[in-house]
Amino acid sequence: MKLTRFFKTLLITMALSVPAFASLADPLPALKADPAKISVSGLSSGAFMAVQYDVAFSASTIGAGIVAGGPYNCAYANPFGVPSTIATCMQGIPDSLASYVSAQAFADLNKIDPVQNIAKQKIYLFSGTQDIVVKQSVMDSLRDFFSAANVPDANLVYINTFPAGHAFISPDFGNLCDVNANPYINECSVNSGHYDQPAAIFNQIYGPLKPKAQTLSAQPIAFDQTEFAGSLTGMADKGFVYIPASCQQTKGQGCALHVVFHGCGQSVDSGAGDDVYSKVGYNQWADSNNIIVLYPQVNKSEVPLNPQGCWDWWGYTGLDFQVQSGKQLSAIHAMVVRLTGQ
């Protein structure tokens, strides 16, 4: 009698556990987005990460939008040890030439794509005059890094006059322009409206845009990141992707792909909810311009030590963090390969 009761309890427990497994995110869809139209952008640690991806995979990346980031391999291209160089890479004047030389060295070792590819890219840079987290001197060094990489002046836009704090700049969501606080999304007035940073990034990389969608044709969907990124990457179990209805209908053919890297503390599980993947404003422009938007996620963690939920730009996942074999970079690239069918 007791044994029968035990098995009944076991069966009930198993039955109750099924919805938990069923609620796991689906796999990232296998699509055929245009591999000649891949680009990236990001804020803060996500901006450093966007630079790393842009440089490491420069042969397949056509442009980048960097909001409050710094030069490639900044934490190791400056000569004073990691604790000091992290401060230099956020508040000081990083050595842009040393960053470029380190990129050349990694390319010579076949750890990243040839640096000559960078010269072909379209680059958008943004630094607010009220940013107290990543100072403009750091972004100035990033501009100099791209100049060292022979990006023509005509292909590089540097916005550095807005009285903005440390944030993505959304046309219709967030704090006042000069704020440096959660959710690190601000609104800034310009002329008779608000500055639309996603539009500016897409326009710089992809050229003139169709008007943004007033009503989205789809919604962002969660996908399982664990098949790309193990626990030692610090990445979340779920990422998000926005696939316009037009791109769903064609399985991605003819659609561009843009990767958005959130900043520290901006992942869903870090408390930001859907702020980045739904409210910054990328999706409205993506919807009407056939752009798939990938929003990978990294969480706060104790192992690896990442208490602020930042992307790895100083080596907490290993000393190869800035090259193609790095745990996070290789995971993101695998997602890009899935979405482009390469």
Task: Tell me, yes or no, whether 8 lies in a domain.
Answer: no
Task: Tell me, yes or no, whether 168 lies in a domain.
Answer: yes
Identify residue 209 by its one-letter amino acid code.
L
Give residue-wise pLDDT tens across range 100-122: 999 999 999 999 999 999 999 99
Task: Tell me, yes or no, whether 178 lies in a domain.
Answer: yes
Dihedral angle of Cα 3, 8, 12, 15, to the nearest 10 degrees = 100
Task: Tell me, yes or no, whether 316 lies in a domain.
Answer: yes
The contacts of residue 140 (CB under 8 Å, 6+ apart) are 93, 127
Average pLDDT over residues 5-30: 51
- Range of weakest confidence among 32-36, 114-118, 333-337, 338-342: 338-342
Cα–Cα nearest to 214, from 148, 151, 288: 288
Answer yes or no: 45 catalytic. no
Give residue-wise pLDDT tens across range 230-257: 989 999 999 999 999 999 999 999 999 9
Options 166, 194, 262, 333, the catalytic residue: 166
Residue 1 predicted with pLDDT over 60:
no
Average pLDDT over residues 304-324: 96
Give residue-wise pLDDT tens across range 18-53: 333 333 789 999 999 999 999 999 999 999 999 999
Average pLDDT over residues 152-165: 97
Average pLDDT over residues 293-304: 96
Contact 196, 173 (CB under 8 A): no
Answer yes or no: 288 catalytic. no
Task: Tell me, yes or no, whether 153 lies in a domain.
Answer: yes
Task: Tell me, yes or no, whether 14 lies in a domain.
Answer: no
Residue 17 predicted with pLDDT over 90:
no
Average pLDDT over residues 62-87: 87
pLDDT at 2: 41
Residue 7 predicted with pLDDT over 80:
no
Give residue-wise pLDDT tens across range 199-224: 999 999 999 999 999 999 999 999 99
What's the pLDDT band for 80 if we cut at 50, 70, 90? low
The contacts of residue 339 (CB under 8 Å, 6+ apart) are 28, 29, 30, 31, 33, 241, 252, 257, 292, 294
Question: DSSP 3-state helix, strand, coil percentages of the chain (rounded to 5)?
Answer: 40, 15, 45
Cα–Cα nearest to 60, from 193, 256, 316: 256
Answer yes or no: 131 catalytic. yes
Q: Where are the alpha helices (DSSP H) in the chain?
A: 2-22, 45-56, 74-77, 82-91, 96-108, 136-148, 197-206, 245-249, 282-288, 327-340
Percent of the chain clearing pLDDT 90 (strictly above): 88
| Residue that wins the pLDDT comparison between 298 and 16 | 298
Average pLDDT over residues 139-144: 98
Options 44, 45, 102, 270, the catalytic residue: 44
Options 54, 95, 131, 275, the catalytic residue: 131
Mean pLDDT of the chain: 92
| Residue that wins the pLDDT comparison between 174 and 8 | 174
Distance of alpha carbon 121 from alpha carbon 154, whole angstroms = 11
Dihedral angle of Cα 101, 102, 106, 109, to the nearest 10 degrees = 60
Q: Which residue has the tokens 């326009």?
A: 203
Quote the domain boundaries for residue 335: 27-340
Region for 145 from its dihedrals, namely left if φ exceeds 0, alpha if ψ lies in -120 to 50, beta otherwise: alpha
Distance of alpha carbon 145 from alpha carbon 96, whole angstroms = 5
What's the pLDDT band for 12 if we cut at 50, 70, 90? very low
pLDDT at 231: 87
pLDDT at 78: 83
Distance of alpha carbon 168 from alpha carbon 45, whole angstroms = 12
Number of domains in the chain: 1
Task: Tell me, yes or no, whether 133 lies in a domain.
Answer: yes
Average pLDDT over residues 74-101: 86
Task: Tell me, yes or no, whether 146 lies in a domain.
Answer: yes
